[in-house]
Amino acid sequence: GQTGSTGATGPTGGNLSDQNYVFAYDNRTQTYGGGGFQDVTFNTNGQIDGWIHITAPAGVGTSSFICNQDGLYLIEYDIISRKTGGPSGTFSSRATINGVEISGSQAAVNINANNQPQGHTRAFIASFVAGDILRIQFTGDPAGTAGDFEIVAGQGSGTNRPGIT
């Protein structure tokens, strides 16, 4: 038989060229202050489009990444940590949306020896709506270890050696 008529054109979908990403890092050592999870600050935006992250005051930065577009996002973070004193313990990190831990975002490393950098990475997918705030946080365990755990920058070779990306 004959070919039928062409139907109506559907809506245009998104494409892979849509830009909505952030890559940030911090090139300072950040020391655990005690009292549970604390926010990690990021003082440099390597690449950013479609998110808001303020790096002021200069050299200090902030912890909040504000989403501007609803969607599912692949999030990955990499941390170099160390213990500077006290008993062996666990350095833990996690991500939050609006202050609530994102399931599956937590990573941890047990550190037995002082001043031995330990790296760990976590990747996960999370759903965000415009206005949601993403933060990365870290803590040390056992209790009473304030000042004994750090995110440590300056490890490895090269000119820019961040402690967290």
Is the pLDDT score of 14 beyond 60? no
Mean pLDDT along residues 124-129 = 97
Contact 67, 96 (CB under 8 A): no
- List, for residues 99-113, the tens digit of each pLDDT value: 999 999 999 999 999
What does pLDDT average to over the chain? Answer: 90
Residue among 26, 25, 73, 79 nearest 50 (CA): 73
pLDDT tens, 39-52? 999 999 999 999 99
Asked if residue 124 has pLDDT above 90, the reply is: yes
pTM given for the model: 0.86
Distance CA 22, CA 136 (A): 13
Residue 74 CB neighbours (<10 A): 9
